[in-house]
Structure formats: structure tokens, C-alpha cells
Amino acid sequence: MRVLVVEDFEVLARSVGTGLRREGMAVDVVLDGTDALDRLAVTRYDVVILDRDLPGVHGDEICRRLAHDRRETRVLMLTASGTIQDRVDGLGLGADDYLPKPFAFAELVARVRALARRAAPAVPPTLASGDITLDPARRTAFRAGRRLELSPREFAVLECLLTAPGLVVSAEELLERAWDAAADPFTSAVKHTVHRLRAKLGDPPVIETVREGGYRLGPS
């Protein structure tokens, strides 16, 4: 899941970003509206956590543009403006959800996950292929009844492959979906993560490398 946090209070922005990464999400953080639009122009995000009162381009304008472009990206407004009318106005701009500050982080995570499910094509609550099962909500994965101890990156890569069973997923797509903007596009991180994931999945191997294509999850 790819998330963009747009919040001008840097301490809060970094804290939210760190917390969401611990939940296994790929998170980018920007501190003003201009940078947010630059990121949105080149990266597809599942969810944008958007403050309204931003320097540069106001959060309301960013929300309007996303709604006008009819993107699949979902918008969660996170702001100190917590009156009923403020919430109505925010939703009227095209926001998908509205969470006033202060907030409980667990509620933020739950809302982001719910919005991400709406941003993506419908998938079953538990993903499965052969004897491999993965539950995105509970952050658990099993093979043949054996629980897999996966890092957040390994979990995200396996989730990407399970949502496209039998199809080739490029290294570039895995990098975009499972890493944040700080990732070097020329890095071998995807290759090394897939190598570790294969080892944890065990035999018989199920992740196939497709030359000049990417990776594909095959039958057990």
C-alpha cells in the first residue's frame, strides 16, 4: 500500500509516517501543498492523508484537483478543523473521509486501510494461492499451515504477487508499491527481498523469475 502524508507540522508528519511504515505501508511525507502536487504527478498513491491548511497550495485545492481528475487515490482529510460544518465542507470538496485532530493512531490506521480497499480493485479479505494464504488486515501469512515470519517489505511483495496470481509483476512495480520515494530505482533491493522471501516460503519454490519481465507466483 502506498500512502502520501501531507502535513506542515513536521513533528506530526514524521510521526505519522514512521507509524504507518511500522504497519507495513510504503509512505512518503511532504510538508507543503506544492510538493504534494509534484509527488502526485509522478506516483500513484492508494491514500493521501491531507491537512487542509497547507503552505504553498491549500489542501482544499489539492482535494479538488484529485476529485476533478477522478483518480482512484482516496483522500483522508486530517485537520484541526473539527466542526460538523468543516467536515461537511471537506467531504463536499471530494474527500473520502475526515478525521479531526487530535486523533487515535489506531483509528487513523483503520481508516487508511479501509480507504485503500476502496482505492484498489476488489480483492477477497484473505489472499491465497496453492497452500499460501495472506491476511492483509491481520498482517499474517501462512504456507501449508506454517506461519511465515516476514519483514514488512517481504510481506508487501508477497501481497503484490498474490493479488496478481499467474501474472508477471515487474521489479519496477514492486518497487513502487512496496517501497517509498527514498528507494533508489537502480537498487537491487527488490531482487534481495525476493531472494529472502523465497527462502522463507521454502520448497517447492513458487516465485518464478521471468527474464526481462519480473516475477510471477506459480502453483505450489
Q: Do 89 and 190 fall within a single domain? A: no
Give the C-alpha distances (Å, rounded to integers) separating 122 from 25, 65, 163. Answer: 19, 25, 10
pLDDT digits 0-9 by tens, 135-182: 987 889 999 999 999 998 899 999 989 988 788 988 888 888 888 766
Q: Do 76 and 150 fall within a single domain? A: no
Residue 144 sits in which domain range?
127-217
Q: Do 57 and 132 fall within a single domain? A: no
Check if the beta carbon of residue 78 is closer than 8 Å to that of residue 51.
yes
Q: Which residues pair with 12 in a beta bridge?
A: none
Q: What is the CATH number of the domain that holds 115?
A: 3.40.50.2300
What is the pTM for the complete model shown? 0.65
Q: Do 29 and 108 fall within a single domain? A: yes
CA distance 61 to 44: 18
Give one DSSP letter per residue of 151-215, joined into a string: -HHHHHHHHHHHTSTTS-B-HHHHHHHHS-TTS-TT-SHHHHHHHHHHHHH-SSP-EEEETTTEE
Q: Do 84 and 188 fall within a single domain? A: no
Closest CA to 153 of 176, 184, 129: 176
Q: Which of 60, 94, 119 is the last residue of a domain?
A: 119
How many domains in the chain? 2
pLDDT digits 0-9 by tens, 58-113: 998 999 888 877 678 899 988 776 566 666 665 677 888 988 888 999 999 999 98
Check if the beta carbon of residue 32 is closer than 8 Å to that of residue 58.
no
Q: Which of 68, 85, 119 is the last residue of a domain?
A: 119
CA distance 50 to 174: 25
Q: What is the CATH number of the domain that holds 139?
A: 1.10.10.10
